[in-house]
Structure 1
């Protein structure tokens, strides 16, 4: 699956509005992420960048970007990066996430997901840490997530 997602991204983003189309396709597969209206801007093995525009629907009662919207942005970028980075015989699932709120999240957000190390083929499952840094339009890091992915061999039924 990882090769097909990355291949789809590489093909579709050559078209006009291709980044928008890819973002919509990902949200069709995982509908909850559509709540933040993400826009994928970079996808490569070991790297995913996603933008979230400033919209009222992602605000909290204080007018800043809601904590859960930031968590959704982090999980989406980490999961998509994981999907594009997996060896063919492996699969992933989020196992845990810790977050740090570093500054008020105001305006549009930009997430960058990168793993601590490359994913490798293994006969046993293992933890694979991914860091997601979210910055505002001025480039200030406002949020950081550490997501532990569980990688395990694909099973055949």
Structure 2
């Protein structure tokens, strides 16, 4: 990218903060743009050029009937991580849109959830050079005992803003 986009300009300076404060401020900023993220209580652990890590505490408001993280909450974390990873590299004249989700629930989750996503160099080049397009972003979701209860990938598209 020749010039840092709006996300980079806003988030990169926060990396000078202690990690707990980075998490608070970056999560607050994102939650102002996406209020549903605040409702679920998602927190940014990492958001930079290497990728994004989202933390979701297993608390009552995101639990299912067996007191484990709800399926929708885990998908939300995956969608947020993949979308934020894409947003780091998306030129300011492009608009991101979620297009598809491929999610398989393979094990029961235990405790808190972490969702990690990153973008490949080929995906970055496509966003920079094509007016519109799409690609799949794989997301690793782990629980408190390091099990991957969900296999997820999100298809993100972009178009040029009007």
Q: TM-score range by the shorter chain?
A: 0.7 to 0.9
2:146 to 126, 134, 139: 139
Distance 1:145 1:126 in 2: 20
Cα deviation for residue 88 of structure 1 reads: 4.3
| TM-score, structure 1 normalization | 0.87
1:71-128: per-residue Cα shift (whole Å, max 9, x none)? 1111111111111121344332101111011211120111111235422223442111
Alignment map for 1:67-146 (pairs within 5 Å): 67-115=71-119, 117-119=122-124, 120=126, 121-146=128-153
More strand by share: 1
Question: Is the contact between residue 46 and residue 118 of structure 1 (CA under 8 Å) also seen in structure 2?
Answer: no
2:58 to 48, 54, 57: 54
- Tell me whether 79-88 or 103-112 shows the greater mean CA deviation: 79-88
Number of matched pairs: 155
Which consecutive unaligned segments of at least 5 residues does structure 2 have? none
Cα deviation for residue 25 of structure 1 reads: 1.2
**Runs of 4+ deviating beyond 6 Å:** none
Distance 1:53 1:43 in 2: 18
